[in-house]
Amino acid sequence: MVKKVRPHSSNTTASRLLDIAEALFSEHGYAMTTVRDIATRAKVNQALINYHFQNKKGLFNAVFERRASIILEERNHLLNEAKARAKKKSIPLRELIYAFIYPPLRMASEDKGGKSFVKLQARLHNEPKSIENELRSKLYDKTSLRFMEELKRTLPKLSEESISWRLIFVMGLYLYVASNTGRIEVISQGRCKGGNLAQAIPEILDFCEQGFLAPPTQP
């Protein structure tokens, strides 16, 4: 179980610690970031971090939950709206994909610290498995499985195995795009801008939609 920490949403000191920890964890990872590193950057005593978050693991969990909860709330809201529009019919595929990819992309481009969080999210698989599995299970599984159920309704001719793989590919795609590495500017010779959601999202939707609709290769 992820341990509860002291409430910090309205505490400016705790919020500042979360911001600093988020930047360091995203840059160096969990194992290579120490409580001392965070305390030094924040110019506080290590005991203050322990007071708010118990220990490094508690701090890491709090960093992750802070923004993940926003992404998940927005995903579920967009999915609920799509279901309401569809009434009792299956949700159009493009709307499902949009509801899934837009929240993290928006966060990475608009929210202060959002890019650091997406980078942290992308490297979660490199963290200790106990932490990775705990956070994924607690934060992401319920919503991901909800999208899986809607995708199965929308794509009844596609096997559950194929839908699962293709959803994983979508996850990898949005994480890379949201990381805004600068590669799109290089390969497009400046014609495309990684942080331009108005430009990126239609391309992502086209790509993912056709990927889901592609017939499976026969063994």
pLDDT band at residue 55 under the 50/70/90 scheme:
very high
Model pLDDT for residues 81-138, shown as the tens digit of each residue: 999 999 989 999 999 999 999 999 999 888 778 888 888 888 888 888 888 888 989 9
Q: Residue 10 is encoded by which pair of tokens?
A: 């309205």
Closest C-alpha among 114, 110, 105 to residue 26: 114
171 or 118: which leads in pLDDT:
171
Predicted model pTM: 0.87
Closest C-alpha among 117, 115, 137, 133 to residue 125: 133
Contact predicate 147/79, CB 8 Å: yes
d(CA 209, CA 200): 14
Q: Residue 21 is encoded by which pair of tokens?
A: 């920890």
Please check the confidence at residue 7 and state whether its pLDDT lies above 50: no
* C-alpha distance across the termini of the chain, in Å: 41
d(CA 95, CA 120): 27
Q: Residue 126 is encoded by which pair of tokens?
A: 């490199």
Q: What is the CA radius of gyration of the chain?
A: 19
**How many of the other CB atoms lie within 10 Å of CB of 23?**
19
Kindly list the domain boundaries of the chain, sorted by start residue.
64-213
Q: Per CATH, the architecture of 64-213 is what?
A: Orthogonal Bundle (1.10)
d(CA 72, CA 167): 16
Q: What's the mean per-residue pLDDT of the chain? A: 90
Model pLDDT for residues 61-83, shown as the tens digit of each residue: 999 999 999 999 999 999 999 99
CA 163 to the chain's CA centroid: 19
Q: Residue 125 is encoded by which pair of tokens?
A: 């698989």
